[in-house]
Each structure stands twice: as C-alpha cells, then as structure tokens.
Amino acid sequence: MKILITGGAGFIASNVADEYLQQGHEVAVLDNLSTGFRHNLNPKARFYEVDIRDAAGVDRVFDEFKPEVVNHHAAQMDVRKSTRDPVFDAQCNILGSLNVILAAVRTSVKRFIYISTGGAVYGDVPKKDLPAAESYPINPISQYGISKHTVEHYLYLYNRLQSLSYIVLRYPNVFGPRQTPHGEAGVVAIFSGLLLDGKPCTIFGDGSKTRDYVFIGDIVRANVLALQTDFCGIVNIGSGIGTSDRQVYDAVAAAVGTKLQPAYTTVRPGEVEHIYLNAARATKILGWKQGVPFPEGVRRTVEYIRTVERQRAEKS
C-alpha cells in the first residue's frame, strides 16, 4: 500500500515508517523537522519537508504521492508548550490536522489512522475509574489534550459526511529508542540521559503521579494491526498499569546501575495526577496486547541511549 506518514521524522512515527517499509509498503514521510530529525528518516521513504499548517503544501504532497492510507502522527506534542502558547498548539494540532483530513477526503484516501492521546484527553480520572476506557468522559486539563481530542470529532464528522474510513489510536506514554533524552517530554529517555551522564534528575511532584508506559515496539505493532481492520472509531492503546514517577526513576536507575537519588519540585501545570488505560477494545478489535514489560523496555532504552545517542553526540 502507499502510506503517507506525517511526523515520520519524529520518535514514534519514524519507527512506524521503518516497520511499514519492512513489510513491503511504499512510504512517504511529511514532516517540518520542528522536533523530528533527518537522521530518523528511512532512506527508502520519500520525504516531503512540509508543515501541516501549510494547506497548499499538504495538497501538493497528496496530489504527487497519492496515498491510499494516511498515518497522521505530526503534532505539537509538548503539554507545557501548549499551556504557554495555546494558539500555536491549536494551529498545529487542530488546523494542521484539518488540512491533512481535507486533503485525504479530497483525494479519496481509503484509510486514515489518527494518533491521539489517552494520557491527556481524559483529564484527571479518579483512581476508582482507572484504567480508563474509551467511553470515559473527556475532560482534558491541558490545551494539548483539547487540541488532540478535537481532531477525533472531525474524523467522526468526515466519516458521516464523506465516508472517510478512520481509526483513532489513543496512545499511553510511549518510550524507547529514538525518543530524545534532550526534550521536555519523555521521562524515561530524559532520566536515562541524565543518569548515564551521572547527573541528578528532578521529579515534578512527590513521585506518586502515575502514567501508563508502553514500549515503542508494541506501539509500532498497533499501527501495523490498524492497517488490517475496517473498524471506524477510537481505540485505547495501553498496559492498564499505572507506573509512578518514582517507579520510573527506580527502573532507569537500576538499568543504568546508579545509586544517585532524585530531587523533587512542584508539579507543572496541565499534568494529570493519574492515568492508565483500559485497552480491552484494542485486544478485541486489533488483537493487540502489550508485549514488552516495562523493566525490559527501560533496559532496551538505556542501552540505546548508552550506545547510539552517545555515538551521535560524540560525532557532532
């Protein structure tokens, strides 16, 4: 199949692009390289350096590549940035996504895979209601959660109006190779980078906030399975397990082999207390289940940063 992957120079979608190519699909990547990297681009994929906010640019890509499937990962994905600059967040995540959807509808794309966030759309969920299922009320407490969720409504609408076939994957916290240790998001990579350098880490809050962590290989598999179903609607991807910030720290410290202790500071705005996701629908519809346990994923991530990231840093 001809698959256009937006955001394919970034952490998650570049791994998806590699696997789609491996499976024999023809892949093109659309990315503005704002947080993605050229070195993540698979040389077998066609690359369009385009911003999704540029409707004419997006249209040109669709007219030239003529994708059958769109896998839409491109986004401003930083919760903090969305609270600092909500207009920019909405321009990228809502208006940019609308450009991609409209181009897909105009060119009769057969299938649209949209990446949303289970970590941010549900907002603060009481522990008794966790893990959250897709039917749980949507009450985001960050602008990012609102912008990512809004696109789900457009997809529902364009399915009704123009029969656009779509699936929404609501991701948990994804971690693994290619997540940058120098970003503002991605706590496993950030802790790994700091501890490998012998530097102390800071936990925002008292360490008890919980998140649902799934290793990148399992997320890639969900994207492969999403190509094999006609299901239209929303699917949570998650482990169903809440892992606290302190547990993340301890797992990374164990993998690095350090006894350094973390510092603690105040919680940042937009951060939910607890979220983990019920992925029973993903199992039913996609046949998806988490495969790599958290500690094993952390070991692989630390190993990747110890080798690949460091070699790259030494060369540059």
Contacts of residue 21, Cβ cutoff 8 Å, sequence gap at least 6: 27, 42, 44, 45
Whose Cβ is closer to ligand NAD: residue 48's or residue 249's? Answer: 48
Site for ligand NAD (CB under 6 A): which residue of 171, 191, 288, 294? 171
Binding segment for ligand NAD among 45-53, 132-140, 160-168, 297-305 (CB under 6 A)? 45-53
Q: Which one of the listed residues 20, 144, 154, 166 is annotated catalytic?
A: 144
Residue 96 touching ligand NAD (CB under 6 A): yes
**Letter for the amino acid at 49?**
E
Least spacing, CB of residue 14 vs ligand NAD, in Å: 7
CA 191 to the chain's CA centroid: 19
x-or-dash pattern for ligand NAD, window 55-84, by CB under 6 A?
A: ------------------xxxxx-------
Q: Closest approach of Cβ 299 to ligand NAD, in Å?
A: 19
Q: Answer yes or no whether residue 194 interacts with ligand NAD by CB under 6 A.
A: no
Is position 32 an interface residue for ligand NAD (rule: CB under 6 A)? Answer: yes
- The DSSP bridge partners found for residue 30 are 6, 48
Q: Out of 16, 18, 27, 51, point to the residue binding ligand NAD (CB under 6 A).
A: 51
Query: Is 31 a binder of ligand NAD (CB under 6 A)?
Result: yes
How near is the Cβ of 50 to ligand NAD at its closest, in Å?
Answer: 6
CA dist 294 and 263 (Å) reads 23
Supply the minimum distance, in Å, between the C-beta of residue 54 and ligand NAD. Answer: 8
What backbone phi and psi angles, to 5 degrees, belong to 208? -95, -10
Q: Any contact of residue 7 with ligand NAD (CB under 6 A)?
A: yes
Answer for which of 16, 25, 27, 35 binds ligand NAD (CB under 6 A) is 35
| Other CB atoms within 10 Å distance of the CB of residue 227 | 16
- Residue of 244, 316, 229, 206 whose CA lies nearest to 281: 229
Q: Is 154 a residue of the active site?
A: no
Six-digit token string for 62: 């669709």
Decide: helix, strand or coil at residue 8: coil
Helix (H) or strand (E) holding 235: strand 233-236
Which amino acid is present at 254? A
Q: Is the dihedral of CA 128, 131, 132, 135 positive or negative?
A: negative
- Provide φ and ψ at 170, rounded to 5°: -90, 105
Q: Which residues contact 148 (CB under 8 A, 6 or more apart)?
A: 75, 93, 116, 117, 120, 121
| Beta-bridge partners for 170 | 116, 236
Which of the ranges 46-54, 104-112, 151-159, 263-271 carries the binding residues for ligand NAD, by CB under 6 A? 46-54
**Least Å distance between CB 307 and ligand NAD?**
20
Options 114-122, 269-277, 290-298, 299-307: segment touching ligand NAD (CB under 6 A): 114-122
Which is nearer to ligand NAD, 95 or 258 (by Cβ)?
Answer: 95
Please tell me the distance from the alpha carbon of residue 240 to that of residue 63, in angstroms, as a whole number.
Answer: 41
Residue numbers at the binding site for ligand NAD (CB under 6 A): 7, 9-13, 31-36, 51-53, 73-77, 92, 96, 115, 117, 119, 148, 171, 173-174
Q: Looking at the annotation, which residues are catalytic?
A: 144
